[in-house]
Amino acid sequence: MTQPIACPKCAMDNTYPDGELLICADCGHEWPPAAAAAATETDSVRVVRDANGSALVDGDSVVLIKDLKVKGASSPLKMGTKIRNIRIVDGDHEIDCKTELGPMLLKAEFLKKV
């Protein structure tokens, strides 16, 4: 048996096909199945942008645009520090990288693509 498609409006799985449309029995929302497939594909692509609005991808090099205090370290990460080979991760801090102070998670808003 196939997995029921969740309603895009209320996220409930109580849906059924009716001709060309899918219908949610909980909220009454109707939508074409092709729209649900397209929405799922676009939701999975996450774009992380730096301080200037440039898209960042895994393996990019970036530069810090301001000094960042680091908890537990005696010195901050200085503005202009170049960081190579970043990784994009999920969460509040989108960038996983290795710095001179060790491995860190940073926010993209404090970085500029090189």
* CATH code of 35's domain: 2.20.25.10
What would the pLDDT profile of 16-56 be if each residue is shown by its tens digit? Answer: 888 888 888 888 888 887 765 555 555 556 789 999 999 99
Cα separation, 106 vs 92, in Å, equals 9
Least confident of 5-9, 26-30, 62-66: 5-9
Least confident of 10-19, 58-67, 85-94, 99-108: 10-19
Give the N- to C-terminal CA distance of the chain in Å, as an integer.
Answer: 50
Cα separation, 108 vs 22, in Å, equals 39
Domain that holds residue 37: 1-45
**86 and 35 belong to one structural domain:** no
Cα separation, 77 vs 73, in Å, equals 9
Q: Show Cβ contacts of residue 111 under 8 Å, excluding neighbours closer than 6 positions.
A: 50, 51, 56, 62, 63, 64, 65, 83, 95
Pairing of β 62-64 and β 102-106: unpaired
**60 and 17 belong to one structural domain:** no
pLDDT for the residue 12: 80
**Domains: count for the chain:** 2
**96 and 67 belong to one structural domain:** yes
What would the pLDDT profile of 70-102 be if each residue is shown by its tens digit? Answer: 998 899 999 999 999 999 998 899 999 999 999
**82 and 28 belong to one structural domain:** no
pLDDT for the residue 2: 65
Cα separation, 54 vs 92, in Å, equals 18
**17 and 65 belong to one structural domain:** no
pLDDT for the residue 86: 95
- The angle formed by the CA atoms of residues 93, 83 and 114, to the nearest 5 degrees, is 100
**25 and 65 belong to one structural domain:** no
pLDDT for the residue 91: 87
Least confident of 9-13, 14-18, 66-70: 9-13
Q: Show Cβ contacts of residue 42 under 8 Å, excluding neighbours closer than 6 positions.
A: none
**52 and 96 belong to one structural domain:** yes
**40 and 92 belong to one structural domain:** no
Domain stops at, among 26, 45, 64: 45
